[in-house]
Amino acid sequence: MKFNKLLIGLMTSVTLVAGAAQAADLAIVSGDTGTGLAFLRTQLDIFEKDTGNKVTVVPMPSSTSDQFGQYRLWLAAGNTDIDVYQTDVIWAPQLADQFLDLTEAAKDAVGEHFPSIIESQTVNGKLVAIPGFTDAPALFYRKDLLEKYNKEVPKTWAELKATAQEIQDGERTGGNADMYGFVFQGNAYEGLTCNALEWVKSYGGGQIVEADGTISINNPQAVAAIEEAASWIGTISPEGNLAYQEEESRGVWQLGNSVFMRNWPYAYALGNGADSPIAGKFDVAPLPAGEGADARSAATLGGWNFAVSKYSPDADEAIKLALFLGSSQVQKNRAINQTNLPTIAALYEDADVLKAAPFMANWKEIFENAVPRPSAPTQAKYNQVSSLFWSAVHDTLSGNGTAAENLEGLEADLTDLKGNAW
């Protein structure tokens, strides 16, 4: 931060004489869900104590799409106020030029992390960010309600729809007029890309753009998947779900007003919080599979990292901060307090972690089979690809055109955007 430069300048002579390290005044920018920012503060307090540096958090909205728009502008303008950025797993290829190469600084730490995550943050041999946590979603379900209605955890979307409808109807008749069957992230933003990629992949309909750059989204399985999701709106899911991001779906769920929810693991700790009416009444399972020959359960790969701005005036201390936030110590605290998934394999066998988040024993496998969004093949154009995709899906869910029409239009738009090559 520029603010204390003068002060630090004045102090330098004193600290040099005293032989102490020069303290820096750093700023980290982060958007997060739930209590994510409050947790970050607790870890920064530890870092401040250990290093003598000061760290200010610049809070951002939780929508990753909103964050990306803002950060891209700041970085393009060479902003020197922000030293460390909390970055989404999909951003590395798009923002790589604006961040420092952390290969050398992280050489002792990289071996601890899953190689696939390090790879996702490496662009042309440059390590763009240190992994902080990974994300693979879950089907959250109400154990008590499934028991009451004598139902199994659904394994297919068709089963989910039938069970959600039956319990929703039963609970409404029983007096809870606000009850819904299923909530998810249906707003027109990156979160809908994650949800819809899961539907499409679960029907064997590919990954929008394949690893080799082929545009694959206009196919019958993808059409069937998105039509199925459209049938939920106004039946098992509220109309308002078309505007929900993570926190709005969690709000409905955590009040006890939904049988099922698709969300990321962070919602596990919060749902079991002391003030939560559904504490102890729910569990998590893999998302349902679709129909067809290649049907499977599919989870979109998410996750967050820490990158150092190349415009940081305190790069050395900023790098220390990024390394600290990705360390095993912080990731363990994060897994216990926030139920965020670690990027360090050993923590999935840690007794304290498994006590706080028993589901994590099964989540390493889900994360390892998670489906990446096509940010690597589409490079700098990923954000446009995603925004065309989520718009086509949002239109379909809103009743503006059929899935077949909207995916045909999407294919044409993606072909234009691609041109000769991504």
Q: Which of 93, 131, 290, 303 binds ligand GLC (CB under 6 A)?
A: 303
CB of 278 to ligand GLC, least distance (A): 21
- Collect all residues with Cβ–Cβ distance below 8 Å to 259 and sequence separation of at least 6: 141, 142, 145, 146, 163, 164, 167, 168, 171, 179, 180, 181, 182
C-alpha–C-alpha distance, residues 301 and 299, integer Å: 6
Contact assessment for residue 93 and residue 380, using Cβ atoms and an 8 Å cutoff = yes
135 lies in the binding site for ligand GLC (CB under 6 A) = yes
Subset of residues 61 to 100 that bind ligand GLC, contact rule: CB under 6 A: 64, 88-89
C-alpha–C-alpha distance, residues 330 and 44, integer Å: 10
Q: Which of 238, 302, 326, 377 binds ligand GLC (CB under 6 A)?
A: 302
| Segment near ligand GLC (CB under 6 A); pick from 37-45, 188-196, 307-315, 387-395 | 188-196
Closest CA to 282 of 173, 150, 139, 161: 139
Q: Is 124 left (phi over 0), alpha (psi -120 to 50) or beta?
A: left
- Collect all residues with Cβ–Cβ distance below 8 Å to 43 and sequence separation of at least 6: 324, 325, 330, 333, 334
Q: Which one, 228 or 246, has the nearer CB to ligand GLC?
A: 246
CB-closest chain residue to ligand GLC: 302
- Collect all residues with Cβ–Cβ distance below 8 Å to 97 and sequence separation of at least 6: none
CB of 41 to ligand GLC, least distance (A): 19
Q: Which of 194, 226, 298, 307 binds ligand GLC (CB under 6 A)?
A: 194
171 lies in the binding site for ligand GLC (CB under 6 A) = no
Contact assessment for residue 5 and residue 11, using Cβ atoms and an 8 Å cutoff = no
241 lies in the binding site for ligand GLC (CB under 6 A) = no
CB of 268 to ligand GLC, least distance (A): 14
Q: Which one, 154 or 303, has the nearer CB to ligand GLC?
A: 303
Helix (H) or strand (E) holding 39: helix 36-51
Q: Which one, 265 or 290, has the nearer CB to ligand GLC?
A: 265
CB of 371 to ligand GLC, least distance (A): 12
| Interface residues toward ligand GLC, by CB under 6 A | 64, 88-89, 135, 190-191, 194, 246, 264, 302-304
